[in-house]
Amino acid sequence: MNELVVQNLVKQYEGRALLAQNRTKKRALAGVSFFLSPGLYGLLGPNGAGKSTLINIITGSMLPSKGKVLWNGKSITGLDKKYRAILGYMPQQQTLYDSFSGRRFLCYLAALKEIPPADTEREVLRVAELVHLTAELDKRLSAYSGGMKQRLLAAAALLGDPQLIIMDEPTAGLDPKERVRLRDTLAALATDRVVLVATHVVSDVESVAGEILLLKEGQLVDKASPAALVEKYAPGKDLEQVYLSIFGGEEA
């Protein structure tokens, strides 16, 4: 059935210094709930809105202070290894080993994902093709441009054909052509998978997202189709204007 449910997520970062200083420090997530069925979703909000925090919790990389994440009705903490198999995650920041070739990097991640060795070569080629990196696979990562590295990380997230694809600011560092291509690839995958893309760039998701989740200061302001959001917040205008009317002067 492929359904992700997020229930009342709260996250309060509690560094020791923070605790001593100020217990009312604002929460990074202040009770976020929604559900996603197959489709492409844009998680939109300015820097500091809580997008990465939300994604870290949904991907099981971080525990919430409160609340739950369910995949097909089961808590992801219980699913553990099974969840890893259906999840494709591209974090906002990731270190790459410069001495690796693109191919070696993808093979290494395929092994971590427990893709059978007999399938690895085919699977690596499949995901490289999706991001147009086939011709560069044997170059060392030290020779990759920022955009190529970013596309390699997107390819890595697609290894094993995950049913839940989550990408945190995937278009950072991509040129316009690469942006459009990644956008179209994700849109094609979203026909029968849940794809969630966090971004602060409206044009990344405006034309392809079935729904946009607007996140402001740790709270979900709205979740609706781009057309419905325009109708509600900026009639006769566009999603850029919706963004401005909701987030106003917040953007740095």
Ligand X SMILES: Nc1ncnc2c1ncn2[C@@H]1O[C@H](COP(=O)(O)OP(=O)(O)O)[C@@H](O)[C@H]1O
Binding region for Mg ion (CB under 5 A): 51-52, 92
* Of 15 and 73, CB closest to ligand X: 15
Which of 38, 41, 44, 53 is close enough to bind ligand X by CB under 6 A? Answer: 53
Which amino acid would we find at residue 246? I
Three-state secondary-structure class, residue 132: coil
Q: How far apart are CA 143 and CA 148, in angstroms?
A: 9
Three-state secondary-structure class, residue 53: helix
* Residue 208 C-beta: closest distance to Mg ion, Å: 20
Q: Are the C-beta atoms of 196 and 168 separated by less than 8 Å?
A: no
Tokens at 134, concatenated:
């086939």
Using rule CB under 6 A, residue 47 touches ligand X: yes
- The structure tokens 């995949």 sit at 71
Q: Are the C-beta atoms of 128 and 155 separated by less than 8 Å?
A: yes
Using rule CB under 6 A, residue 174 touches ligand X: no
Interaction residues for ligand X, span 63-92 (CB under 6 A): none
* Residue 142 C-beta: closest distance to ligand X, Å: 28
Tokens at 196, concatenated:
């969630």
Using rule CB under 6 A, residue 45 touches ligand X: yes
Three-state secondary-structure class, residue 161: coil
Which of 32, 44, 49, 124 is close enough to bind ligand X by CB under 6 A? Answer: 49
- The structure tokens 């997020």 sit at 6
Binding range to ligand X, per CB under 6 A, among 43-51, 63-71, 233-241, 242-250: 43-51
Using rule CB under 6 A, residue 51 touches ligand X: yes
Residue 50, contacted partner among ligand X, Mg ion, none, CB below 5-8 A by kind: ligand X
Three-state secondary-structure class, residue 252: coil
Using rule CB under 6 A, residue 48 touches ligand X: yes
**Which residues lie across from 40 on neighbouring strands?**
195
Measured from the Cβ of residue 203, the count of other Cβ atoms closer than 10 Å reads 15
Using rule CB under 6 A, residue 50 touches ligand X: yes
* Of 47 and 72, CB closest to ligand X: 47
Which amino acid would we find at residue 18? L
Residue 32, contacted partner among Mg ion, ligand X, none, CB below 5-8 A by kind: none
Could you list the residues that contact ligand X (CB under 6 A)?
13, 15, 28, 45, 47-53
